[in-house]
């Protein structure tokens, strides 16, 4: 009986985002999958709006073909944790407090996301997040799947 209760508890706890250091991010390991790479921060409002949609993406497309990887750019990790408590994510978050990867990608706005093909090419870049463009974003993903 006790075991069952424990299992129930496990099921009841929602899936939480794993937080890694940016140094652990290996995009090459994702070859063979379509990757939606999103840069966000806790202070950026459109980023907050994109979260429910990205959570939905993870559920919508098969995990073996598609993955959402996000990079958080908060200098203060506390702000990131508070955000994730309010807005749970079911995808992995890589914390880049010094903007190392952001510098590499030369982001022009927040949020910025990249759609990466199974061969590792950046196919599309979205600057900002607009709910009115969701259909287009999904269409772009489906074209690659």
Partner 1 sequence: MKTAIRWLLIAGLLAASGCSSLGVKPWERDLLAREDMLMNADALDLAYDEHIYFSKEASSGGQGFAGGGCGCN
**Binding residues for partner 1, per CB under 8 A?**
39, 41-47, 73-76, 79, 99, 102-103, 107-112, 127-129
Pull the structure tokens for residue 70. Answer: 């996000």
Mention every residue, 6+ apart, whose C-beta is less than 8 A from residue 105: 39, 112, 114
CB of 41 to partner 1, least distance (A): 6
d(CA 79, CA 64): 32
Q: Is 43 or 118 the residue whose CB approaches partner 1 more closely?
A: 43
Q: Which CB atom, from 99 or from 118, has the smaller least distance to partner 1?
A: 99
If the CB atoms of residues 33 and 126 are measured against partner 1, the closer one turns out to be 126
Read off the tokens for 93: 């978050």
């Amino acid at each position: 009986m006790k075991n069952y209760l424990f299992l129930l508890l496990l099921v009841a706890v929602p899936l939480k985002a794993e937080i890694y250091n940016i140094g652990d991010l290996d995009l090459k390991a994702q070859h063979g999958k379509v990757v939606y790479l999103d840069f966000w921060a806790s202070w950026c409002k459109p980023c907050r709006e994109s979260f429910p949609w990205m959570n939905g993406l993870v559920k919508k497309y098969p995990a073996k073909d598609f993955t959402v990887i996000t990079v958080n750019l908060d200098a203060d990790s506390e702000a990131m944790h508070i955000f994730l408590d309010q807005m749970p994510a079911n995808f992995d978050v890589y914390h880049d407090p010094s903007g190392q990867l952001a510098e590499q990608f030369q982001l022009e706005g927040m949020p910025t996301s990249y759609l990466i093909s199974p061969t590792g090419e950046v196919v599309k870049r979205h600057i900002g997040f607009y709910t009115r463009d969701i259909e287009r974003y999904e269409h772009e993903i489906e074209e690659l799947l």
